[in-house]
A and B are shown apart, each in its own frame.
Chain A
Amino acid sequence: METIINTANGIAAKAVQMARPKVVAAYPITPQTVVVEAIAKHVETGELDAEFICVESEHSAMAATIAASATGVRTFTATSSHGLLLMHEMVHWAALARLPVVMVNVNRTVGPGWNIWADNNDSMSQRDTGWMQVHCASNQEVFDSIIQAYKLAEDGRVQLPIMVNYDGFILSHTSMPVDIPSQAEIDAFLPERVPCWSIDPKNPVSHGNLVPPEYYMEHRASMQNAHMAAKELFPKLANEWKEKFGIYHGGLIEDYKLDGAEYVIVTLGTLGAEAKVSVDELRKAGHKVGLARIRMFRPFPAEEILRIAKGRKSLVVIDRNISPGYEGVTFTETKSVLYGNSNVPVYGYIAGLGGRDVTYKHIIDIAMEAVNGKASPDVTKWWGLKENEVIS
């Protein structure tokens, strides 16, 4: 094991290099650019034996990745925000074609006005495409998740694309020490891809032709089953990683000081890292608050949400996103799990949109609303809003 210090972007490029994809197609966008630049360099210097397709758009990046993946090779792409949105048609395509594409998405706010800082509305808007989604809270988790993502996506029971998300700038441009296994260890954990099917003149099959109604639903149902299989496999991979390398970030959810917790903060991404500091402080002050950091957002860890909700006084969900006209997406998802299964109240907060800073102190204040019985269930509350600047 070697320890290197780098930004999440640099670490992502390193993980991709060690995963040995054969084709990478990507287009630059802040704050993801360094990933593309570094991989292009690895290919030029021969450190990565792959073809780098320098495409003219993100739509084409995803299309090229899909087409290359259909020939049976391991592939990679990376994007962010507007790039992800431009890809949207092909994001669906990759999932329905059941191709194990791995993509890094550096979470960035959607414009206008142009905003390059972190929020999750970009990836949340891809929720229903059929992609698996992982959210990271540290550079170490970025490295580990990318390697694990390949293994999960390429598993014969899964065969789905996966998006590894991390917050723009907060992680993408922040250096941290990361422990890196040797190439031999990575190769042993992640052998070469064995495709279930591939484009091959020796086996002339048409892929993706017109599917009449009497077949389409079965495709969707198969995809749903694959997601359910992934939900079982992902925690096993996390455990395998722990046994081999001694590093563990949790399974579908990371539990943090949940023992004896009466109130549980539920969030994802770097808000989850910040919330650990808040929990530490709250515990020191004698408040029984814990944290459940959602790592895998799709497939959604419904059973895990039920587990962490059991016996609590309330859950406090913090979303760095909003589904306009309703509420934070994770808030909705969490409540939907509890409906009919639990009477634990759930409080929803929107915070940090457009990259607005959310510190551990803010999260303490949010949690204290629940602790003090001041939070109101089923209503989304905006945190840190300058009310006088909001048009009503």
Chain B
Amino acid sequence: MAIKDMPREELLLPGNAACPGCPASVALRVILKALGENTVLTIPACCTAVIQSLYPKTSFKIPVLNMAFETAAVSASGIKAGLRMQGKDDVNVVAWAGDGGTYDIGLQALSGALERGTDFIYICYNNEMYSNTGVQRSGATPYGASTTTSWSGKTEHRKDLMGIVRAHNIPYAATACVAYPEDLYNKVKKAMSMRGPKFIEILAPCPPGWHFDMSKTIEVGRNAVQAGAWALYEVENGKTTFNGPSKAILEKKVPLKPIEDWIRDQGRFKQLFKPKRDEARIAELQAQMERDWDKYRRIVAGECAEL
């Protein structure tokens, strides 16, 4: 689906309270174009709760149920059950949460809903930190990145959330990035065509949190994917397929780039370069990226071997 062919109607209205260059609002526009009006969103505490605007106004043209920070997935279970009992089983029930609400505080509820087989789409927009509360570290924050609870750079790598989600054996799980809206749109459409739990994680480069210029959201996202710091793939009934630039990296048609290409322009990594280059930490980030890709290749190879 080319951008020009996507529905024109905006279900996230202009004049909302997002920061300029906000990746969450870009992603919301795209996913709502795919989902259409027959959709219910449930949103936990996160930037989007603010983007939505203050009572008594709203920037959404679909119904939204705001819920507590850790309850996105289970709220979807409740909404789905309530609608189904009223014969409204055709409504798309979507939980939209940040990485904090997904990787950390909401992980238990997410696991529960995936295991129970709730028929919904869970979308995590991952800006790799708690933006709403002022850029604290999350389980998704990469190694070396500075946050307000990891001032000199995080000392641990981010957790493999997709690995955790995969282990629930759900029909569909995918990664996406705001810089690839067509890919995101198609993934939402595919998720909508399936029953059961579907999971999509979107990399969402956040200008104030990552410290880059607000005009560069898409560029930073594109660099992440092209450098190999973020992979685009989908797992459909256990079968993994890499998409876009990530496919060429997986197949080694394109080499992994130095991680520096991606991190250099983000203020959150400046302690890796100033006052002097921190070779050890840059090398560790590079090594982790390579370990990730080795793992992806083993996963894909393992699936082929099983066939």
Contact = CB atoms under 8 A, between A and B. Distances in A.
B78 A53 contact: yes
Contacts of B162: none
Contact of A63 (B62, B68, B85, B115): B68
Nearest to B40: A199
A239 interface: no
Interface in A46-71: 49-51, 53-57, 59-60, 63-71
Interface string B79-90: 101111110100
Grouping DSSP codes into helix (H, G, I), strand (E, B) and loop, the A interface class, with mixed when no group exceeds half, is mixed
Q: Which of A50, A59, A204 has the most CB of B within 10 A?
A: A204
Nearest to B59: A206
A173 interface: no
A70 B65 contact: yes
Interface string A79-97: 0000000000110010000
Contacts of B55: 206, 209-212, 215
A89 B68 contact: yes
A106 to B, nearest CB: 22
B83 A67 contact: no
A147 B258 CA distance: 67
B84 A51 contact: yes
A178 interface: no
B26 interface: no
B74 to A, nearest CB: 4
B81 A199 contact: no
A72 interface: yes
Given A206-B60, A209-B52, A210-B54, A67 B66 contact: no
A201 interface: yes
A47 to B, nearest CB: 16
Given A68-B78, A72-B82, A209-B66, A60 B49 contact: no
A72 B91 CA distance: 15
Nearest to A69: B82
A73 B86 contact: yes
Contact of A71 (B66, B83, B108): B83
A205 interface: yes
Given A60-B71, A68-B78, A201 B37 contact: yes
Contacts of A23: 78, 81-82, 85
Interface string B147-186: 0000000000000000000000000000000000000000
Contacts of B40: 199, 201
Q: Which of B40, B63, B67, B68 has the most CB of A within 10 A?
A: B63
Interface string A189-229: 00000000001110111111111100100000000000000
Interface residues of A, number: 42
Interface residues of B, number: 44
B63 A199 contact: yes
B109 to A, nearest CB: 5
A25 interface: yes
B53 A25 contact: no
Nearest to B90: A201
A70 B82 contact: yes
Given A89-B68, A212-B54, A66 B78 contact: yes
A22 interface: yes
A65 B78 contact: yes
Nearest to B85: A22
A72 B67 contact: no
B68 A57 contact: no
Given A212-B54, A215-B56, A207 B66 contact: yes
Contacts of A207: 63-66
Contacts of A72: 82, 86
A200 B79 CA distance: 10
B146 interface: no
B50 interface: yes
Contacts of B53: 209-210
A54 B39 CA distance: 24
B75 A64 contact: yes
Given A23-B85, A67-B79, A199-B65, 7 more contacts: A22-B82, A67-B42, A67-B71, A73-B85, A93-B68, A209-B64, A210-B55
30 contacts: A23-B81, A60-B77, A60-B112, A63-B67, A64-B78, A64-B81, A65-B78, A66-B67, A66-B75, A67-B74, A67-B77, A67-B78, A68-B78, A68-B81, A71-B82, A90-B68, A93-B67, A200-B63, A201-B63, A204-B61, A204-B62, A205-B58, A205-B63, A205-B64, A207-B64, A207-B66, A208-B67, A209-B55, A209-B58, A211-B54
